[in-house]
Amino acid sequence: MPVVSVSLMNLPGTEAAVGWAGGHCVIADRPDGKAGGMGLGFNGAQLLALAIGGCLCNDLRHVAHRRGVVIATLSVKVRLTLEGDPLIASGADVSVQCGMADGSDPQPLIDEAKASSMVGCSLPRGIPVSLSAGQGA
């Protein structure tokens, strides 16, 4: 079974965290002035919305390559709804605008990518999240 691992640690001189996987990194922070945040990076809700949209973008490209077709234009927007205390994501609305280079209907491509999107398929099913705590780094 494949496993994906990422690491995060505090960004020195801030209360933000830098996360990385392989040679790629991202900064997670709160908005400027909120709970020590400096607005240096994405908050958790934004990261979740980016995961939903980014995964779908990758899957659309993957399906297009497998089918031997070319996506000329692609735009994905994610609207993540939050509610409760503590705030939790209660829904995500995803809008896709896709134009094929040959002018064909992109809907079959979109449908296949949606059906195979790891993030998009995992969230509705839910996943267990375990947490263990240690001290120091």
State pLDDT tens for residues 6-37.
999 999 999 999 999 999 999 999 999 999 99
Q: Which two tokens stand for residue 117?
A: 């999107």
User: Domain tally for the chain?
Assistant: 2
Distance of CA 24 to the CA centre of its chain: 14
State pLDDT tens for residues 71-89.
999 999 999 999 999 999 9
In a domain, 135, yes or no: no
Sign of the CA dihedral 34, 36, 37, 43? negative
State whether 38 and 82 are in the same domain: no
Region for residue 17 given its phi and psi (left: phi exceeds 0; alpha: psi -120 to 50; beta: otherwise)? beta
pTM of the model: 0.91
Q: Which two tokens stand for residue 72?
A: 């000329």
Q: Supply the range of the domain harboring residue 88.
A: 43-126
| Residue closest to 48 by CA, chosen among 95, 106, 92 | 92
CA distance 8 to 13: 15
